[in-house]
Amino acid sequence: MRQLSLILILTSLMLAAAPSGELTREPSLSKSLSGEVTDEPAAWWLVWWTGVGNVSDFLVSNAMQGGVFARHPDDEHEYQGLPAYTGWYPVTRGRNAEYPANSEQFYLYAMGFWFGAIYPYVDTLTGDTTWIANVSKAAYESDIGAMAVPEMRDAGGYNDISNRGLYFSDMLIPEGDEFEGVGDNLFVQPGETPEPYQVLWPFADTMLNKNRPPDEQLDPSKGDIVSDEDTYAVGGDWIPVDSATTIWILTTGSYDGLGLGIRAEQRTYSWNRGVLANAIVLNYKIRNMNDFSLKAPYFSYFADPDIGEGGSVPGDEGFWDDMIGFDRDRNLGYAYDANGSEPGWSTPVGYIGAVLLETPGDEGLTGFETWPNGHDIDKLGQDSLKYAYMTSTDFVTRENPDDVRMLLNSGPYPDLAPGNEYDFTLTVVVGQTLAELQANVDSVRAAFDRGFSEKVDVEEESVSASLGLTLSDPIVFSDLLKLRYSLPNASGIDLALFDASGRRVETLKQGYASAGEGKIIWDASTVPSGVYFVRLSASGQSCTERVLIIR
């Protein structure tokens, strides 16, 4: 948690200031975006909370803001596309990731993505160009603006709500003289007959289709919904800053210096069934809106765990006795309480962690950083320092009780060309013990590998059975590489050839595959002689075989 110093209350909305900022008034590699692009900002910034399972009160925003705001009792209802009550802020703040649901036990103060790259800064006096580190950040004070969503110009009984920029698949139509269907769902729910005032959910992410069975392909034109509560929002920092709809008035400008020039689509998924009830899944599609490439881009996910409340110095109860751990086998970063208890909690303190499920080119996690409260990296105007941490290949844990942060890093990626985008999927998972957290992570990863197929009972699925990968011959003298693989259950798979440096040379098979055995014959004449590795990834597991190709 960071301390904030000034509150300004304006009617039922508010402005608030940190040492660095205050609130403005509330009124696989490159894929194409599924959403319609517009330069129109949202009418105002919005925050609300998702989470319909064991973990709840997970804040999302059309400005990409993650955390910081606490949910007011008046907002303990389904989202209606209206502003949240923020009058308690910052007296009451944080209180995100409630676990178990309705327990008033919270695990996160702030969370959100960072996207950084090397960016051309042009001196307005000399015209000289200098390439500098520039990072767009969704936490603490998001320096990203909220954008309109053209798909919602005709929202049935709710009319035109394209200027909201934040949507929930189970949102309700609010009271209003011009609205039809007040109190009912705006979007048609799965298996229900549409009412005249309802519309189809247009934001299903068809990139999941590569992992789903052929008869379960997602189709936005049919209003397909992935989870029990999907959310969708668009933000960016490419339009002029004086036109942007941002939450914070920052001392360094609402874009915290220079905007990076990106557009970000955010989707989240939450379930009220099985093991998936212990997770929030997030997907980000980040597009370069500049007319130049962004060099050496990195993606990171930041979290400031606050397990409990109160305390004033490291080691105190509350959020001052948190610890950070890392599970290298799962690339899982997690937070926990030093003594396993918090005053007033009805259950022992559990664990909360984050894992990258999918990154472009299967880059995966390349570093894990942590630091305590008071570090310069938390301040505004520190993009160079933030980018340095994003590029770190260290894996750092913190075993001294403190108010701590953690950062999961992935990159660098090939320069992001104008109009191109990168796609990232991650999950935040909870568990009562470390073993339970690890098991939940394995199950969520396995469910993702099946595209969150409705046919999969995630409560009973097992990932303990081993994958199988066999080469006909570990030395290839001819032009044909022959191999067999076996899957313990149906899954999305990734079968690829890598060279000795770890570079992906060829994708041999990717997408949904049935349980059982499969066979691949690949023409190896296109690659030079040398040592290569064939890797099979599925159901949260992987196996690798070495092959020598000789001409």
Q: What would the pLDDT profile of 219-263 be if each residue is shown by its tens digit?
A: 999 999 999 999 999 999 999 999 999 999 999 999 999 999 999
Strands 541-549 and 475-476: parallel
| Class of residue 73 by CB neighbours under 10 A (exposed 0-12, middle 13-18, buried 19+) | exposed
Flag the least confident range among 99-113, 384-398, 441-455, 475-489.
475-489
- Show the domains of the chain with their CATH numbers: 26-149+228-448 (2.70.98), 468-549 (2.60.40.2360)
Distance of CA 16 to the CA centre of its chain: 26
**Quick one: pLDDT at residue 544?**
83
Say if residues 484 and 521 touch (Cβ distance below 8 Å): no
For the ranges 204-213, 285-294, 437-446, 519-528, the lowest mean pLDDT is seen at 519-528
How far, in Å, CA of 172 to CA of 157, rounded? 10
Could you tell me what percent of the chain has a pLDDT over 90?
Answer: 66
User: How do residues 279-310 score in pLDDT, each as one tens digit?
Assistant: 999 999 999 999 999 999 999 999 999 999 88
> Six-digit token pair at 506?
């060829």
Q: What is the mean pLDDT of residues 522-534?
A: 88
Nearest CA to 13 out of 37, 56, 58, 44 is that of 44
- Contact status, residue 443 vs residue 208, Cβ threshold 8 Å: no
At residue 1 the predicted structure's pLDDT band, cuts being 50, 70 and 90, is low
Report whether pLDDT(479) > 90.
no
Residues 6+ apart with CB under 8 A from 485: 467, 468, 469, 470, 493, 495, 517, 518, 520, 536
pLDDT band at 93 (very low <50, low <70, confident <90, very high): confident
Strands (E), 218-294: 229-236, 248-250, 262-270, 279-288
In this predicted structure, the answer to whether residue 503 has a pLDDT above a threshold of 70 is yes
pTM: 0.83
Tens digits of per-residue pLDDT, 401-456? 999 999 999 999 999 999 999 999 999 999 999 999 999 999 999 999 999 987 65
Residue 41 phi/psi, 5° resolution? -75, 160
Round the average pLDDT of the chain to a whole number and report it.
Answer: 88
CB 424 within 8 A of CB 299: yes
Mind listing the pLDDT tens digit for each residue in 313-356?
A: 888 888 899 999 999 999 999 999 999 989 999 999 999 999 99
Query: What is the percentage of the chain residues whose pLDDT exceeds 70?
Result: 91
User: DSSP characters for 392-447?
Assistant: ---B--EEEEESEEEEEEE---S-B-TT-EEEEEEEEEEESSHHHHHHHHHHHHHH
Phi/psi at 478 (5° precision): -90, -165
Query: What's the pLDDT tens digit per position in 42-53?
Result: 999 999 999 999
- Please report which helix (H) or strand (E) contains residue 389, including its range: helix 383-390
Cα separation of 350 and 435, whole Å?
Answer: 11
The helix (H) or strand (E) run that includes residue 388 is helix 383-390
pLDDT at 20 over 70: no
Residue 471 identity (one-letter amino acid): L
Question: Looking at residue 83, what is its pLDDT?
Answer: 95
Q: What is the pLDDT of residue 540?
A: 63
Q: How high is the pLDDT of residue 33?
A: 52
Q: pLDDT at residue 363 above 80?
A: yes
In angstroms, the first-to-last Cα distance of the chain is 60
Q: What is the pLDDT of residue 468?
A: 83
Q: Assess whether pLDDT exceeds 60 at residue 29.
A: no
128 class by beta-carbon count within 10 Å (0-12 exposed, 13-18 middle, 19+ buried): exposed
Model pLDDT, residue 455: 62
DSSP-assigned states of every residue in 484-518: EEEESS-EEEEEEEEETTS-EEEEEEEEEE-SEEE
- Mean local confidence (pLDDT), 479-485: 88
* C-alpha span between 59 and 383 (Å, rounded): 24
The Cα–Cα gap between 490 and 98 comes to: 33
Instruction: Look up residue 281 and give its two tokens.
Output: 């899944």
* Residue 6: pLDDT over 80: no
Q: Which residue, chain included where needed, has tokens 């009984």? A: 157
- Contact between residue 94 and residue 66 where contact means Cβ atoms under 8 Å apart: no
**How high is the pLDDT of residue 10?**
26
pLDDT in tens, 123-163: 889 989 999 999 999 999 999 999 999 999 999 888 899 99
How large is the greatest C-alpha to C-alpha distance in the chain, in angstroms? 78
Q: Which residue has the higher pLDDT, 418 or 523?
A: 418
